[in-house]
Amino acid sequence: MFKKLFATPQAGMSDEEYANLMRYQANFGTVILTVLATCLFAASMPIYYFYGHKLGAFTTGFYSGMLVGALSTKLMSIIYLSNPQELHRRKIKDTDERVQQVRQRADALTLKILLVMAYLAFILGLSYFTQYFWYFAAPLILILILQPSLRWLLTKLL
């Protein structure tokens, strides 16, 4: 199960095998996000009661975002899997060695940049920043901004 869940598309895969792999991964992601959102929804009621409105509002936004993520994952998989030309184009893009090399370089560079920035944030945070939100949000924001940006940049440069 885990082998298929984390499998990457291989060169020589047929379009049907690629579609089955993408369908399995998208369905698993949708189910996991839905289950986590449901558990967080159930936990948000006691959180509202015991910890107040601000933390309860955060959990409400969090599980709402997870449900929207699950729905959008399923919708995008339906759109891509229903169009054979788009499915074939994505398979070619995912199995291209040059694209995979660019993604690996971008991932490695992202990790190095994040390590340096996390270290600097830790050092500066000890004396200047007292808001705990940024300790949690900054790595996520940086990953979401840096990785696609570096992939695009390295694709253009290489």
Tens of pLDDT, residue by residue over 1-41, are: 667 777 777 878 888 888 888 899 899 989 999 999 898 88
pLDDT in tens, 77-125: 888 889 889 888 888 888 888 888 888 899 889 888 877 777 776 666 6
d(CA 52, CA 45): 10
Q: What are the backbone dihedrals phi and psi of residue 52, each rounded to the nearest 5 degrees, phi first?
A: 100, 180
Residue type, 100: Q
Domains in the chain: boundaries: 1-95, 96-158
The model scores a pTM over 0.85? no
Residue 155 and residue 99 in contact, taking contact as beta carbons nearer than 8 Å: yes
**101 CB contacts (<8 Å, ≥6 apart)?**
158
d(CA 41, CA 45): 7
